[in-house]
Chains A and B, each alone.
Chain A
Amino acid sequence: MAPLLQVRGLTTIFDTQDGVVHAVNGVSFDLNEGETLGVVGESGCGKSVSMLSILRLIPEPPGRIVGGEVLFEGRDLLKLDQNEIRKIRGNKIAMIFQDPMTSLNPVLTIGQQISEALELHLNMTKEEARQRTIELLRLVHIPEAESRVNDYPHQFSGGMRQRVMIAMALSCNPKVLIADEPTTALDVTIQAQIVDLVKELRRELGMAIIWITHDLGIVAGLAHRVQVMYAGYIVERANVHDLYANPRHPYTLGLLRSLPRLDARTREKLTPIEGLPPDLITLPLGCPFYPRCSYRVPRCLDENPALHAVDGQDGHEVACWVDVTQREEIRA
């Protein structure tokens, strides 16, 4: 079966005063029906911009999608006119955002904000939309949904607001839910509740999910496949088990090493990756991870490796010249 969503060579830049920021550099991936795809990487590596580009939600100017295709239901979303892309947004592909405190409009009630999508995409009447909104609030376990539908965002806690965001995103039964770090702004217990809620909804509704995070721990329990981004490139992609058990990119190794493990027998020291990500205005010719890499070889300086299959592991791809399982790490 063909993938639900196919992204090919997506490239997005920002024209700024300092120069052209290369935020997303030829990103390609597939999303299958009902699948959850994790997207991880450090802050600023282009996770949000790549996903916003899919729905053409980046601010233009300064942003500009300069290349690629986004194939969804047989059409290239990047070629649709404004009216057609709006019929996709919130309807077929919905999105939730990082900060539930600022992502809801403070002057409109929760009910108004959820039902407007229903009225728009599903042509519901005001009353139908209201009833459906209450059902949706129940679905995301907001207590006393009938009365809370008339409340304003400031009357909800952070976790509750994210539930509202989820209800809003799922209101039109989207095929794809893009979740951009939906738990980052929440405290740990609330994070877990939101993740559980999403798992439950995924079982009930069966939508495909793209889950952006920089927390490898969350993604481990949620995603089927994970792709790792660095400096606007995808540097490694694998199903979740392979990625954790058998990481192939030095950057992924670094990320995993900086993750605290509960099952570690000895108290291993956490080693954050040293150095900073490259300046996206003047990207190097070679591998962008080169300066921070402890497996680097001279070739990495001249040629940026493309994503290619890892031998013997189905669907595992990596963008690295070096086979990290065969080489000793260079210790600085």
Chain B
Amino acid sequence: MTRYIIRRILSMIPVLIFISLVTFALAHAVPGGPFDREKPLPAEIKANLNRYYGLDQPLWKQYTDWIGLTRNPSGEYAGVLQFKFGPSYSSRSRTVNDIFRAHLPVSAQLGFWALCIAVGMGVPLGIIAALKQNSFWDYFSMAIAIFGVSVPNIVLGPIFILIFALTLGWFPVAGWGTPAQMVMPAFALGLNSSALIARLTRASMLQVIREDYIRTARAKGLAERVVIIRHALKNAFIPVATILGPMFAALLTGTFVVEQIFAIPGMGKYFITSITNRDYPVVMGTTLLYAVFLVIANLIVDITYAYLDPRIHYE
């Protein structure tokens, strides 16, 4: 197992190199540059800025500078490899690292709670729906699931604000920091995924409870509760675990809309504005970071897999 994990981590390197190349290429392929303004800057100033940030260098050199393989214009190795993601062109007083430090934890927190809601609601709903197939609870859970899948969070957010903040006054309209402020955004973000999980859990559970080994468990005289919890759940959860990795990454990166609606100072907002500003270091740093999250999340899922299903063996 340890050897498998090491191998998997090693195999991430080419993936991340590839992603860094593509991000770099795409960021620079977008027409326009960071210092293009509606009222153009004087050519001299622009040239100075370009020189200062190394944008006058050949592209390959800009790339290796960013990665940290070559000395940047200030004569240091200060790139991704040194965990330095460079300066931000638009908020000049801060480096990309500063921005990450300030805003990433907010998005991560939002994503984490959304995932908790997704799993905490989706799994039980799916199980109830499967166990009480074609009953009120089944239809109820699946109605919630269909609602959750079909209503995007850009609609859900304002609905929540309207009902729970403005009408009922249970939660503050917007902002971030107190637990009460986290509730609505986390639900707005997580409901979609919880619906997805509920449907997957239901399908998987329905299949598992028809398996022969469930009949064997019942034939042993086990109580229905034990049959479900001990014999069915773990098996039913295996396919659900598969989507948790990409889902977490999606929740983390998909926070933009929700952050906008609820005025949350997270990473998503910065990411989008940095694209329109051609703030290359922020764009590339964020993309690369999310790529790392995704690969790691998938590795964790694969390890969980081996834990859930003893038939899976990693050599």
Contacts and interface: CB of A to CB of B under 8 A. Distances in A.
Majority-rule SS of B interface residues: helix
B215 interface: yes
A107 B221 contact: no
Contacts of B235: 105-107
Interface in B193-215: 210-213, 215
Contacts of A117: 220-222
A38 to B, nearest CB: 20
Contact residues on B (Cβ < 8 Å of other chain), bracket: 20 to 34
Contacts of B226: 116
Contacts of B6: none
A103 B213 contact: yes
B243 interface: no
A120 interface: yes
A90 B219 contact: yes
B3 interface: no
Nearest to B220: A90
Contacts of B219: 55, 57, 89-90, 94-95, 97
Interface stretch (B13-21, B99-107, B306-314): B306-314
Interface residues of A, number: 30
Contacts of A121: 221
B84 interface: no
B216 interface: yes
A5 interface: no
Given A154-B310, A154-B311, A105 B221 contact: no
B213 A104 contact: yes
B310 A87 contact: no
24 contacts: A55-B219, A57-B215, A57-B219, A59-B210, A82-B224, A86-B223, A89-B220, A90-B219, A90-B220, A95-B219, A97-B215, A99-B212, A102-B211, A102-B212, A104-B216, A105-B216, A105-B235, A106-B213, A106-B311, A107-B234, A108-B230, A108-B231, A152-B311, A154-B310
Interface of B: 210-213, 215-224, 226, 230-231, 234-235, 308-311
Interface of A: 55, 57, 59, 82, 86-91, 94-95, 97, 99, 102-109, 116-117, 120-121, 152, 154, 165, 168
Given A59-B210, A97-B219, 18 more contacts: A57-B218, A86-B223, A89-B219, A89-B220, A90-B220, A90-B222, A91-B221, A95-B219, A97-B215, A99-B212, A105-B217, A105-B231, A107-B235, A108-B231, A109-B310, A117-B220, A120-B222, A121-B221
